[in-house]
Structure 1
Amino acid sequence: MPVHAPASPPTARKAALAFIFVTVLLDILAFGVVIPVLPRLIKQMAGGDMVSAAHWVGLIATVFAVVQFFFNPIQGALSDRFGRRPVILLSNLGLGLDFILMALVQTLPWLVIARVISGMTSASFSTANAYIADVTPPDKRAAAFGTLGAAFGVGFVLGPALGGTLGDIDLRLPFWIAAGLALANFCYGFFVLPESLPRERRSLQFELRRANPIGALLLLRRYPQVYALAAVVFLSQLAHYVLNTTFVLYADYRYDWGPQAVGFTLGFVGVCNGIVQALLVGRIVRHLGERRAIFIGLTFGALGFAWQGLAPTGWLSLAAIPLLALWGFAGPATQALVTRQVDPGEQGRLQGALASLTSLAGILGPTLYTQIFGWSINKDSPLHLPGLAFLLAASLLLVALAVAWKATRPAADAASATDAAHP
């Protein structure tokens, strides 16, 4: 049965959402400023050897995802037991100290250790989602999650641009800036951020046997609709990794785009995503409902990936970006629908479980898409189709659409029956 948390007063809710928006924005900026320079720093530590650098980049990305896969449920369970605020604060403090370590290390093994610490401490995103579920009534959650998506968009535009500029001055300068942003976020939260989970709604105890990926997935199985929608989240995240791992290589190979063209394109992506999340998600969900918003978002996402994989020129490929931005309807609507089904005292574990699925996609996605891209452009390949990886991502979203249709149909039918019985 759906569980409805008590709504917070509107003024308190708006203030809390503003606090969480700033928290997520600062965190995204902190991560974003290191995106353009981390591979270059790894290459520098590898003695300039591109092959060795590629090996270490893949290793570090996989290690980060594996650590997050195991630690996100622990962070979620801790937030259910002790509250959201201390977990967010410890996350920001840990990230700030970790960025300082990354700015100082001189060897690749130490850089791997630093990324392990990042994976252990980066809890604020999933805990922020639980915070939103605590303070927002169910019918307002999709718009609230869309606001967080807008923070991602703004941070994604500003962070890499700032990091690239600072990296031209000194490769390690962006890490110091990231550390400053994370520690500023800790101070902001310490003095401003209120707790969202009252003591009477917290879990009675922290159980390590339940605070692990398997235990988290077992939690999802207790709620059949949530379990199916978690599959939608996983497939969506797995599809998304084609952008993280293949887009730069694909644009270079097919369109002969250099770093500047890619940078402008990523900026356009961030602007489109910010507009959709901040201005459209709430309106679409309010008028069409969460179920239809999920269907519309996944359909646009599949169309966007298919367009990207088939576009013969760089200019034509830009038309895929607004389509992919409209895919952004699906995420907040799915989050809102999922949080309706879970007890308020288990929202942290729920978000930890969903974050672990995202991390699992991060473990599988990079190898999957880079191998497919390499095979599709190999001169000995029987099928020369550089956009094959994007077509696979489009197919995954169509599968997610079918799963979402089946998962939400009983709830929709029940709602229709209820409306008919109570005109």
Structure 2
Amino acid sequence: MQRWKINLSVLWLGCFLVSAGMTMITPFLSLYLQEDLGVEGEHNIALWAGLIFASNFITSFFFQPLWGKLSDRYGRKMMLLRSGFGMSIVMVLMGFAAAPWQLLLLRMLNGVISGYIPAAVSLVSASTPKERMGFALGTVQSGSIAGTILGPLLGGLMADHFGYRPIFYITGGLLFLASTLSWIMVKEKFDKKAAALSAKTSMLGNLKKLMRIPQLPALFSVTFLIQFAMLSPMALIPLFVARLHGTSEDLAFWSGFVSAATGLSNMIAAPLLGKLSDRIGSFRILVICLLGAGIMFVPQAFASSVPELLVYRFLLGCFIGGLTPTVNSLIRRYTPDSSVSQAFGFNSSSLALGNMIGPITGGALSGLIGIEGIFIVSAASLLLTSLWTYRSLRRAGMGAEGRTG
């Protein structure tokens, strides 16, 4: 097998395990806080769950640029192994947490050392022949998506059979295995001398340059608002499922199933909406999907059973599938070739910011307006974002793209 294919196969597995490991706790985090860590009261549980879920993104937001710089200087494989082995250790330690603040600190530490997937994507792009680049990057990305989809479902199944704490040990062991395989089997050609001599660029200077392109500030803001609306109710869904389910039997499984449904429809819809955007324009798809996602949050607040909620979450994912890909497509279209990586980097920061603020806001507001109210807030956020996106991006000159396709 050619070297780039070996790298791709191993890193696909690694991205799958990392994404699955990061999302396995979603179905039972609230239950883990309540039953194992002694947190009482729905509002307190929701607040702690929101903080713990978001903490990983908070530290990741600040440290990802640092790891990116070190990757350019010392090599992508070194950053890959640093992140993989580090996260495997932290994940095992989470299973020994005796209080919610300990789990919070460990999630923050996990965010500090994270970065396996960006390093894997960068390494694949550097080792793959140009004529196979699209296939390789699409394949490694599919590993991440598959892990995100199956992680909550696997976490729910294992929680029902093994309890909550063993899942952290299992996940840590799988991450250690993936990192070991990467260490032994992945090869990288990296010229450290050339990297040391390369010109140092200022991130602030590049940011100022990109912000002068009128479409980009709007697109960065849209990314933040999308993630804020999507993540606000995420940590609260297990509590909502528990209320609808009415029994503890298979509760973690149903929580995982509800979480996985959105990811499954997202994965199915994304390529179909991508093809449609080539015909009618990314701008139109972005606005339509924002409207559709906002509308699909409303019936979730009034769901009376788990199967009903499952249907609404699946339909929501159909619209979500058109959001991030179209934003990325538009960013690529309006960014100079010399600054594409920087633009996507700043867009990733916007995404992380939405990931961290959304759950915290959802947890804080849940005591005032309830879980159902958070669904309505998310719906209003996306609907207002669709209106603001239409007006701001048309004003920036993107309307013509939407008309001509």
- Quick one: distance in 2 between partners of 1:345 and 1:217? 10
TM superposition shift of 1:237: 0.9
CA contact (8 A) 2:85 2:179 kept: yes
Match among 269, 275, 279 for residue 283 of structure 1? 275
- Aligned CA RMSD, in angstroms, stands at 4.3
Alignment partner of 2:151 out of 159, 181, 185: 159
Q: How many residues align?
A: 394
CA contact 1:94–1:121 (8 Å) conserved in 2: yes
Q: Aligned to 1:34, what secondary structure does the other structure show?
A: coil
| Structure 2 unaligned regions, length at least 5 | none
| C-alpha deviation, 1:132, in angstroms | 7.1
Measured against aligned partners, the alpha-carbon deviations of 1:149-199 in whole angstroms (never above 9, x if no partner) come to: 643443234323332333342432111111122122212333444549887
- Equivalent position to 2:386, from 389, 398, 404: 398
Is 50-59 or 230-239 further displaced after alignment? 50-59
CA drift of 1:234 comes to: 0.9
Find out whether 1:73 has 2:65 as its counterpart. Answer: yes
* Residue aligning to 2:38: 47
Structure 2 match to 1:4: none
Counterpart of 1:204? 198
2:48–2:363 contact (8 Å) kept in structure 1: no
Contact 1:68–1:359 at 8 Å: present in 2 too?
A: yes
The equivalent position to 1:302 in structure 2, one of 294, 297, 301, is 294
The answer to whether the Cα contact below 8 Å between 1:129 and 1:145 also exists between their aligned partners in 2 is: yes
After TM superposition, the structure 1 = structure 2 runs for residues 4-403 of structure 1, keeping only pairs within 5 Å, are 20-44=11-35, 46-47=37-38, 49-50=40-41, 53-128=45-120, 150-167=142-159, 168-195=161-188, 204=198, 210=203, 217-218=207-208, 220-221=210-211, 223-250=213-240, 259=251, 260-277=253-270, 279-280=271-272, 283-288=275-280, 290-309=282-301, 317=309, 318-319=311-312, 321-339=314-332, 341=335, 347=341, 349-377=342-370, 387-399=375-387, 401-402=389-390, 403=392
| Alpha-carbon distance change, 254 to 181 in structure 1, aligned in 2, over 3 angstroms | closer
Deviations 1:272-328 (A, max 9, x none): 223234x53553455455444434433432332345356677655514522432321
Aligned partners of 2:149 and 2:23: how far apart in 1?
8
Asked if structure 2 preserves the Cα contact closer than 8 Å seen for 1:68 and 1:119, the reply is yes
CA change 1:351–1:202 in 2 (3 A) is farther
Deviation, structure 1 residue 119: 0.8
Structure 1: which amino acid aligns with 2:255? V
For 2:40 and 2:178, locate their aligned partners in 1 and report how far apart those are by CA, in whole Å: 36
Evaluate the alpha carbon distance shift between residue 151 and residue 89 of structure 1 in structure 2; reply closer, same or farther with a 3 A threshold.
Answer: same
What is the CA deviation profile of residues 218-253 of structure 1, one whole-angstrom value per residue up to 9, with x for unaligned ones?
A: 464265433332112111111111341343445556
> Which range moves more in the overlay, 176-185 or 56-65?
56-65
Q: 1:156 to 1:235 in 2, by over 3 A?
A: same
Show the counterpart of 1:3: none
Q: Compared with structure 1, are the counterparts of its residues 246 and 110 closer, same or farther at alpha carbon in structure 2 (3 Å cutoff)?
A: closer
CA shift at 1:30, angstroms?
1.7
Q: Determine the C-alpha separation between the residues in 2 that align with 1:196 and 1:351.
A: 24
Partner of 1:8: none
The one-letter amino acid of 1:31's match is M
- Equivalent-residue separation in structure 2 for 1:132 and 1:239 (angstroms): 32
Q: Which range moves more in the overlay, 230-239 or 388-397?
A: 388-397
Report the secondary structure of 1:35's partner residue: coil
Between the aligned partners of 1:373 and 1:46, the Cα distance in structure 2 is: 20
Q: Aligned-pair distance for 1:338?
A: 2.6
Q: TM-score, normalised by structure 2?
A: 0.76
Amino acid at match of 2:358: G
* 2:38 partner SS: coil
Query: Structure 1 CA distance, aligned partners of 2:243 and 2:206?
Result: 41
In 1, the alpha carbon distance for the partners of 2:16 and 2:178 equals 9
